[in-house]
A and B are shown apart, each in its own frame.
Chain A
Amino acid sequence: MRGDMEAKYDFDRKFRRQVLQCSRCGFCQSVCPVFGFSLRPAYNARGKMLLLKEVMDGTIDLNDELIETLFQCTTCGACEENCPSGVNVPDIIKQARKDMVNIGSCHPAFKGMHEVLENHSDIYAEDDLPDFGRERNRKAPYVFFIGCVGAYREEEATESILDLLDYLKVDYTLIDEVCCSGVLGDVGYSINDRLAEKNVERILATGAHTLITGCPYCARTFHGKPEYQKLKDSGVKILHVSQFLKDFDFGVTTSRKVTYHDPCDLGRHCGIYEEPRETIAKIAPDFVEMRHNREKALCCGAGGGVRGAYAANSIAMARRRLQEAEEIGAEVLLTECNSCVHNLANAKLRKQKVKILTTAQFIQELLEEEDKI
């Protein structure tokens, strides 16, 4: 037992009370996406808290054997939402991952991601930002920030958002953006100052009063991380595209049955549940919720670096979410996150006919169908 010895790790120093607060009730188990597909109790929040308590007690130590457990968490926050004891699990996990990295125990994919962002401008090390046929770095009232997944993996979703902004006559510019690097804070590291400084400098150089992004994680990072505080201090308003679009009318509707998947980074982590639904309500009268929605939404499995480190497991988690869309007979599944679109689309089986799109993509599709563009 540790007794009154000095705490060995930061997670212990910062979150000792929180870890001890876990009453081992297991409410987290029913909502944990990792447990949901793996059925392994060590993977849900309770299992992780028990392990961390043992580390605090000195009966085990942090080491490579804990990588599979501590790094396999999408940091979706469903456990925290469902925890009667109020344990802030994602923050504890993120700190424990930092402690792991500090002692040299890290999942190789996360170590790789850190190294990539030391030397490159995006998480895929592609360094070839597409311009989508738009001007960059010009003076404009709005900046549209794409994010790595939108730029390099879900280009069609990005193209649709940009086309829609053009249709709405929004005066925006793209910038020579680099990864916001927020994800590093989830996987045991910290935001990369060099990248953050570049983004801040390039956003401010446009003179924009509003920064719109299609990526919930980028929005979260710009809002919450001190490395981006200068944006707010300079009066730049930060919006996720779903917040921006809710004030427009598009003049198109669909008869198809539509549902909405709450991205964890937008929903549980930013509290943005209603804005996307307000927009969807205008275009899809036959809207139906999935069994788990809003605060209780089931994570698609892509977050917390898990898509990079445990891709097959991410896809298995997304298949569980798609089952919920199937249960209600949804023909279209909309979401507001390129990572969710990517993972859900990868997981979709050929026999599943549900279309997976961002809301902007779907609106754009409806506009094109009705020849309004």
Chain B
Amino acid sequence: MPEDLYYEENHLWVRDEGDLLLVGMDDFGQKMAGDIVYVQLPDEGKKLKMGKKFAKVESGKWLGKVFAPVNGELVEVNEELETNPGLINEDCYGEGWMYKVKADDKAELEQLIKGPEAIEKWVLAEIEKYAQE
């Protein structure tokens, strides 16, 4: 898990790229999902409400909900995922990026998981949670 990224608790990563935020699924998420076969790519301009579902990801019988990491607007989607959703499995922090979001207020990023200590604590808790399941 790269330590320079922000993480949403449902395993989305967020990279601050200045004007826009780049969003994708983290390695833990893609490994849990398995071979991804479908990524919903909503129309650009969609308003996003922090913590609300705005898209779906599927792998076989598994369905993942994508929750908005911040309030804002969807400004671009990775159209490559339409015909090659496996890019998320192959390169989740690079070619497999999912969405570009214009945040209403970037200060909301501070509510996400950030920094080596917080990330480690969160990932360990997640491992334990899934191990119990």
Are A349 and B60 touching (Cβ within 8 A)? no
Does B41 make an interface contact (CB < 8 A)?
A: yes
Are B63 and A124 touching (Cβ within 8 A)? yes
Contact partner of A124 (CB less than 8 A), chosen from B35, B43, B61, B83, is: B61
**Closest A residue by C-beta to B62:** A124
**Closest B residue by C-beta to A313:** B37
Are A309 and B60 touching (Cβ within 8 A)? yes
Contact partner of B59 (CB less than 8 A), chosen from A113, A124, A311, is: A311
Decide yes or no: A315 and B61 within 8 Å by CB, A349-B82, A350-B79, A350-B82 being known contacts. no
Does A165 make an interface contact (CB < 8 A)?
A: no
Does A123 make an interface contact (CB < 8 A)?
A: yes
Does A312 make an interface contact (CB < 8 A)?
A: yes
Interface residues of A in 52-78 (CB under 8 A from B): none
**Closest B residue by C-beta to A113:** B61
Does B76 make an interface contact (CB < 8 A)?
A: no
Interface string of A307-337 (1 = CB under 8 A from B): 0110110010000000000000000000000
Are A311 and B63 touching (Cβ within 8 A)? no
Collect the chain A residues with CB atoms within 8 Å of residue B35's CB: 311-312
Collect the chain B residues with CB atoms within 8 Å of residue A315's CB: 37-38
Are B60 and A350 touching (Cβ within 8 A)? no
Interface string of B90-120 (1 = CB under 8 A from A): 0000000000000000000000000000000
Are A308 and B60 touching (Cβ within 8 A)? yes
Does A2 make an interface contact (CB < 8 A)?
A: no
Interface string of B27-64 (1 = CB under 8 A from A): 00000000101100101000000000000001111010
For chain B, the count of residues having a C-beta within 8 Å of the partner chain is: 14
Are B61 and A123 touching (Cβ within 8 A)? yes
**Closest A residue by C-beta to B44:** A350
Contact partner of A311 (CB less than 8 A), chosen from B37, B41, B82, is: B37
Q: How many Å from the CB of B100 to the closest CB on chain A?
A: 15
Whole-angstrom CA separation of A224 from B83 in the bound complex: 38
Q: How many Å from the CB of B85 to the closest CB on chain A?
A: 8
Whole-angstrom CA separation of A308 from B79 in the bound complex: 24
Q: How many Å from the CB of B68 to the closest CB on chain A?
A: 19
Collect the chain B residues with CB atoms within 8 Å of residue A308's CB: 60-61
Collect the chain A residues with CB atoms within 8 Å of residue B83's CB: 349
Are A311 and B58 touching (Cβ within 8 A)? yes
Whole-angstrom CA separation of A311 from B41 in the bound complex: 18
Q: How many Å from the CB of A236 to the closest CB on chain B?
A: 30
Contact partner of B38 (CB less than 8 A), chosen from A113, A123, A346, is: A346
Collect the chain A residues with CB atoms within 8 Å of residue B63's CB: 124, 152-153
Whole-angstrom CA separation of A350 from B79 in the bound complex: 8
Contact partner of A312 (CB less than 8 A), chosen from B37, B41, B43, B61, is: B37
**Closest B residue by C-beta to A112:** B61
Interface string of B65-93 (1 = CB under 8 A from A): 00000000000000100110010000000
Are A109 and B41 touching (Cβ within 8 A)? no
Whole-angstrom CA separation of A311 from B37 in the bound complex: 6
**Closest A residue by C-beta to B84:** A312
Q: How many Å from the CB of B67 to the closest CB on chain A?
A: 17
Q: Which B residues are closer than 8 A to A by beta carbons?
A: 35, 37-38, 41, 43, 58-61, 63, 79, 82-83, 86
What are 20 A-B contacts with C-beta separation under 8 Å?
Answer: A109-B60, A112-B61, A124-B63, A152-B63, A153-B63, A308-B60, A308-B61, A309-B60, A311-B37, A311-B38, A311-B58, A312-B35, A315-B37, A315-B38, A349-B82, A349-B83, A350-B41, A350-B43, A350-B79, A350-B82
Closest 7 CB pairs of A and B: A311-B37, A346-B38, A312-B37, A311-B60, A308-B61, A308-B60, A124-B61
Q: Which A residues are closer than 8 A to B by beta carbons?
A: 109, 112-113, 123-124, 152-153, 308-309, 311-312, 315, 346, 349-350
Known contacts A112-B61, A153-B63, A315-B37, then 12 further A-B pairs from the complex at CB < 8 Å, ordered by chain A residue: A109-B60, A109-B61, A152-B63, A308-B61, A309-B60, A311-B60, A315-B38, A346-B58, A349-B83, A350-B41, A350-B43, A350-B79
